């Protein structure tokens, strides 16, 4: 795996840990601004539970991306990272379609760049 792929996958992992922070620990005003949702919605207990649930998934994805860089090697590493990058793309496209178009640039595009770097 080349240096560009390592950097892009590392950044993708860190990005998802950042999403986890926003979804689980950030104040509602920042969550509202970040995700383009009304503050009145984000402050509802059920919305907070949903955001925190999504944060767990993003955190797990970030950790697995980063651990895959250090714990795996060879073709197993590349296959795993391609799968994870593909997952990020699917989730980013779905989020961009259903939540806010910003997600295309913030999640799907980094996933696409990482996946391309793993293919070429």
Question: d(Cα 17, Cα 53) in Å, to the nearest integer?
Answer: 14
- Any idea which residue has 């994870």 for tokens? 84
**What pLDDT, on a 0 to 100 scale, did the predictor assign at position 85?**
98
Q: What is the pLDDT of residues 84-98, one digit of tens each?
A: 999 999 999 999 999
Q: What is the pLDDT of residues 57-76, one digit of tens each?
A: 999 999 999 999 999 999 99
pTM for this structure?
Answer: 0.93
Question: d(Cα 101, Cα 93) in Å, to the nearest integer?
Answer: 9
What are the residue ranges spanned by the domains of the chain?
3-119
Q: What is the pLDDT of residues 22-43, one digit of tens each?
A: 999 999 999 999 988 999 999 9
- Does 100 score more than 90 pLDDT? no
**Both tokens of residue 49?**
């539970």
Q: Backbone dihedral region of 30: left (phi > 0), alpha (psi from -120 to 50 degrees) or beta?
A: alpha
């Amino acid at each position: 795996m080349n240096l560009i792929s390592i950097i892009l996958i590392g950044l993708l992992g860190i990005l998802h840990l950042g999403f986890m922070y926003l979804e689980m620990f950030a104040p509602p005003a920042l969550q509202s601004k970040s995700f383009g949702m009304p503050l009145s919605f984000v402050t509802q207990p059920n919305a907070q539970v949903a955001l925190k649930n999504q944060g767990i998934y993003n955190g797990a994805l970030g950790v697995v991306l980063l651990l895959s860089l250090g714990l795996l090697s060879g073709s197993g590493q590349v296959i795993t990272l391609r799968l994870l990058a593909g997952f990020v793309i699917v989730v980013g496209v779905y989020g961009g379609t259903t939540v806010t178009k910003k997600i295309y640039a913030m999640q799907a595009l980094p996933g696409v760049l990482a996946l391309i770097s793993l293919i070429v």
